[in-house]
Amino acid sequence: MNILVLCTGNSARSIMLESALNHLGRGRLTAFSAGSAPVGKIHPAAVSLLSEHGYPTHGLRSKSWDEFSGPNAPIMDMVITVCGKARDEICPLWPGAPLKGHWGIADPAAITSSHKATAAAFSVAFAVLEARAKSWLSTDFEHSSAAERQRDISQVGEFSLVM
C-alpha cells in the first residue's frame, strides 16, 4: 500500500507523518510526503524530534506533489492531508482513485515566539501524528475492503490527543 501525505509546505507535519508511517509500518506500507507549495527544506525541529524518537530522517526532503502525479510516479492507494490548506486546495488527479483522509493538525512551524514554544508545538504535533499512525496501523487494512479502509482513515482523522 502506498500512502501520500500532503501539506502545503512539506516541511514539518507531512514529513513527520511520512517518517512515522514508514517506521511503524515495518514494511506493511510505503509512505511519501509532498506539498502544494513546498518550502524546499525540512524544519530543523522536525528532524530533531524524529531523530530523538529514533525515526528515520535519511532521504526525507521537501518536495512538490507534482512528483507524484506524473506517469512514472508510484500509484497511491491513499492520500492523507494534514493541514487545512492542503485539504481545501484542488489536488491533482491521482491515478487509481486513491482513498482520501484528512488528519488536520495545527502547524507547529507557525509558532515562532520562542524556541521553547516552537519545541512544545512540535512535540504536540508529533504526538498526535504518531498516535494517528499507530491507530491506522492497528487496523487490518491489508485485508479490509475499500469502504472499511475509508471508514478507518476517516475515523483516525477525528482522533485527537489530550495532553
Could you write out the DSSP letters of every residue in 113-151?
A: S-HHHHHHHHHHHHHHHHHHHHHHHTS-GGGS-HHHHHH
Q: Is residue 108 part of a domain?
A: yes
Q: Is the pLDDT of residue 35 over 50?
A: yes
Residue with cell 526525507: 60
- pLDDT score recorded for residue 43: 96
CATH number at residue 152: 3.40.50.2300
Mean pLDDT of 69-95: 77
- pLDDT score recorded for residue 159: 67
pLDDT tier for residue 83 given thresholds of 50, 70 and 90 = confident
Total count of domains within the chain: 1
What global pTM score does this model have? Answer: 0.92
- pLDDT score recorded for residue 163: 45
Q: Is residue 123 part of a domain?
A: yes
Q: Is residue 129 part of a domain?
A: yes
Residues 74-89 as b/e (b if ≥16 CB within 10 A, e otherwise) read eebbbbbbbbebbbee
Q: Is residue 163 part of a domain?
A: no
Residue with cell 524544519: 43
CA 141 – CA 155 distance, rounded (Å): 13
Mean pLDDT of 134-154: 95
- pLDDT score recorded for residue 92: 65
Q: Is the pLDDT of residue 18 over 80?
A: yes
- pLDDT score recorded for residue 91: 63
Residue with cell 495532553: 163
Mean pLDDT of 136-163: 87
Instruction: Tell me which residue range forms the domain holding 24.
Output: 2-158
Work out the percent of the chain whose per-residue pLDDT is above 90: 74
Q: Is residue 46 part of a domain?
A: yes
Mean pLDDT of 22-46: 95
